[in-house]
């Protein structure tokens, strides 16, 4: 890894310029759309009292021509645009490119604040939270793209496509602290894997996992399992729209519209407050509240044990695996069988020839071949009737199958695609079509191929 994630990321200071008002003032890194509000979202340090120059951001930002809408305030009062000029990339005094505001008249000790937009990738504003992290690591903190697990990074970017992040880095702190602050605003996670790569996961309601293998009961010893009832959250109150100049949030939501009534009936109202410092979009806030409540509405299993066969020595912290144990049960009183868990800690005990694991339950179990037998019969009947009716109606066959499968399962698209291939290939093989449809549906999900990704639907709960 090209950087140490625990190293301090140090921002520029006003003292590098000839005539700063306050030499120790920090030059902030600005990201996303901060055009909301009526009194400025962050303070601009004066870097030249002689020429009335203020630092809008410590790095170049989106240009006005590409959509940056700049608004400047003096002691909370809006200033006309004719009173100042904006430069999105100014190598001021040869100290490196920053964004500047230059006034036509001196401002003495006035507090200058701004609303506007931050860093860009060419002509495009960077506002996807995962893309912000990638830009921060690679272009500001001294890292490189190879520091990330490429697959996890791309998947996290795709998951966060509709999220809008915006905020400032305003103080010296570890690189990892900045990652945590941004991701926690969107209920995301990060860790360093055994290869030294940054892993990022964005939790969603309909989660996908890449699981590494299985842990069986016969290999376990000294199992201790507890349910974390103290961290139940069935109603998520959120503070958001942070004003960096005022040092406080300007908006919030009590979480009543996304609360889980059943959990509240069982456990009482368990309200927790979440700070989303990098979130300013109400739609995103509602989506995150839903994810949080679905994940935390029931007590979560934390399980520790010794694995005595050493056959799982290749598992690492952060890996997702399937866990099996007949003495542990989910909320539906089903024993843990192919339960998705994540490894929190791993300690190899060479003297005792075992491995100590601590894992956290992710709230879902992988479904088996024997589930929904009536639905398989229904699929068979639909295929048989359609094929018998008209061999040439391949489109009609596909449409009929889709409706039947998605009624009971959430993986209708993948199943439909597999069935379509077999139906088109040989419509006369009615029995073979049915058998292939069943097997391929679960091969896609990972039953036959344990290295594949698993997609679970809403019927299996929230995976976060």
Q: What band does 193 get if pLDDT is binned at 50, 70 and 90?
A: confident
pLDDT of the residue at 378: 38
Cβ pair 186, 284 in contact under 8 A: yes
Cβ pair 231, 296 in contact under 8 A: yes
Q: How many CB atoms lie within 10 A of CB 395?
A: 10
Nearest to 316 by CA among 196, 162, 166, 143: 196
pLDDT in tens, 114-126: 999 999 999 999 9
Question: Helices 412-425 and 430-445, interaxial angle, to 10°?
Answer: 150
Helix, strand, coil percentages (3-state) for the chain, rounded to 5, are 30, 35, 35
pLDDT average, residue stretch 140-145? 96
CA–CA gap between residue 29 and residue 295 (Å, rounded): 33
Q: What band does 354 get if pLDDT is binned at 50, 70 and 90?
A: confident
Q: Which two tokens stand for residue 452?
A: 């594949």
SS3 state of residue 309 = coil
* Confidence check: pLDDT of 439 > 60: no
CA–CA gap between residue 134 and residue 399 (Å, rounded): 41
pLDDT in tens, 214-244: 888 888 888 998 887 788 999 999 999 999 9
SS3 state of residue 105 = coil
SS3 state of residue 261 = helix
* Confidence check: pLDDT of 365 > 50: yes
Pairing of the two strands 235-243 and 271-275: parallel
pLDDT of the residue at 420: 40
> Model pTM?
0.74
End-to-end CA distance of the chain: 27
Cβ pair 357, 346 in contact under 8 A: yes
Q: Mean pLDDT of all residues in the chain? A: 81
Q: Which two tokens stand for residue 75?
A: 């002691």
pLDDT in tens, 290-335: 999 988 998 888 999 988 888 888 888 888 888 988 888 877 788 8
CA distances from 2 to 137, 154, 400 (A): 10, 20, 53
């Amino acid at each position: 890894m090209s950087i140490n994630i625990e190293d301090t990321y140090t921002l520029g200071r006003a003292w590098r310029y000839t005539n700063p008002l306050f030499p120790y003032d920090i030059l902030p890194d600005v990201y996303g759309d901060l055009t909301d509000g009526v009194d400025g979202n962050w303070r601009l340090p004066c870097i030249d009292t002689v020429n009335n120059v203020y630092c809008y951001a410590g790095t170049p930002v989106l240009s006005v021509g590409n959509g940056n809408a700049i608004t400047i305030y003096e002691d909370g009062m809006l200033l006309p645009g004719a009173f100042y000029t904006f430069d999105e990339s100014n190598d001021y005094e040869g100290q490196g490119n920053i964004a500047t505001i230059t006034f036509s008249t001196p401002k003495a000790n006035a507090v200058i604040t701004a609303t506007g937009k931050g860093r860009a990738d060419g002509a495009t504003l960077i506002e996807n939270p995962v893309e912000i992290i990638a830009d921060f690591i690679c272009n500001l903190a001294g890292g490189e793209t190879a520091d990330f697990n490429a697959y996890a990074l791309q998947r996290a970017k795709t998951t966060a496509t509709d999220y809008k992040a915006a905020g400032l880095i305003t103080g010296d702190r570890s690189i990892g602290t900045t990652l945590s602050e941004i991701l926690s605003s969107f209920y995301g996670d990060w860790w360093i894997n055994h290869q030294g790569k940054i892993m990022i996961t964005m939790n969603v309601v309909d989660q996908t996992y890449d699981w590494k293998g299985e842990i069986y009961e016969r290999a376990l010893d000294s199992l201790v399992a507890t349910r974390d009832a103290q961290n139940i959250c069935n109603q998520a109150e959120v503070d958001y729209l942070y004003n960096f100049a005022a040092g406080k949030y300007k908006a919030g939501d009590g979480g009543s519209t996304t609360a889980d009534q059943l959990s509240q009936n069982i456990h009482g109202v368990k309200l927790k407050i979440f700070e989303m410092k990098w979130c300013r979009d109400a739609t995103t806030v509602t989506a995150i509240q839903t994810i949080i409540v679905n994940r935390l509405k029931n007590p979560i299993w934390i399980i520790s044990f010794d694995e005595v066969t050493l056959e799982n020595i290749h598992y690492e912290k952060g890996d997702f695996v399937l866990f099996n144990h007949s003495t542990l049960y989910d909320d539906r009183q089903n024993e843990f069988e192919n339960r998705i868990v994540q490894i929190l800690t791993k300690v190899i005990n060479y003297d005792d020839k075992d491995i100590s694991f601590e894992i956290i339950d992710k709230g879902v179990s992988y479904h088996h071949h024997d589930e929904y037998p009536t639905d398989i019969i229904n699929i068979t009947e639909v295929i048989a009737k359609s094929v018998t009716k008209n061999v040439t109606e391949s489109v009609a066959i596909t449409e009929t199958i889709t409706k039947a499968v998605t009624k009971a399962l959430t993986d209708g698209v993948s199943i439909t695609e597999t069935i379509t291939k077999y139906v088109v290939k040989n419509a006369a093989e009615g029995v073979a079509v049915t058998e292939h449809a069943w097997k391929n549906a679960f091969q896609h999900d990972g039953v036959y191929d344990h290295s594949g990704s698993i997609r679970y639907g809403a019927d299996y709960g929230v995976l976060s």
